[in-house]
Amino acid sequence: MKIDFSKGNSLIPAIIQDSETSKVLMLGYMNEEAYHKTVEEKKVTFFSRSRQELWTKGETSGNELIVQDIRVDCDYDTLLIKAKPTGPVCHTGNDTCFDEMNQSMDNFLPILEKIIEDRKTASPEKSYTAKLLSRGINKISQKVGEEATEVIIAALQESEDEFKNEVADLLYHLLVLMQVKGVSLSEINAILSERHQPKK
């Protein structure tokens, strides 16, 4: 990758973006050594302008940034790093350094996936998801089958709203089944992405 470190006194800005939510998490600076360390270790490493030394995000807090993709802008002097945060990014404890929640309502499925995971420890009397999880894989699989049938029936009818609601029910119950099977959305996304790649 061609990167021009000469413009900013050997430093270039690195914008860190959540690879799943697309939220901008923080901005840091890298010199050439920090960049190569980031690439080699797959963990974001910056150059501290105040301490004049390298620092890997999370080396103190444990909240690391796991690199998924690195892109350089058209002038070759700014990086966009897509990463998975292992915890809050800001030293204040906030999700981002811009005081935003690290979630995108435009892509609610990863948020719902996390909610379902959290419900595993909830009381079945107080949470439908917890109750469903407690019933085991056979009952959950049966429920997914029922919801799939309802989607088909709704698709053959004229009500668009009913169809959309039935699809939402199916996706929710499918996520519950995936939680029981230990399969994540990112794994499914990777399979779909690989299938989309043009054949050589």
What does the pLDDT read at residue 101? 84
Residue 62 lies in a domain: yes
Model pTM? 0.60
Same domain? For 125 and 176 the reply is: yes
Boundaries of domain holding 148: 108-196
Give per-residue pLDDT as tens, 49-98.
999 999 999 999 999 999 999 999 999 999 999 999 999 999 999 999 99
Task: State mean pLDDT over 95-116.
Answer: 86
Residue 182 lies in a domain: yes
pLDDT bracket for residue 102 (50, 70, 90): confident
DSSP SS3 for 13: strand
Task: State mean pLDDT over 192-199.
Answer: 82
Kindly state the tokens that stand for 62. 């444990």
Distance CA 133, CA 119 (A): 8
Same domain? For 45 and 119 the reply is: no
Structural domain ending residue among the three candidates 76, 101, 126: 101
Instruction: Identify the CATH number of the domain in which residue 49 sits.
Output: 3.10.20.810
Q: How many domains does the chain have?
A: 2
Task: State mean pLDDT over 9-29.
Answer: 94
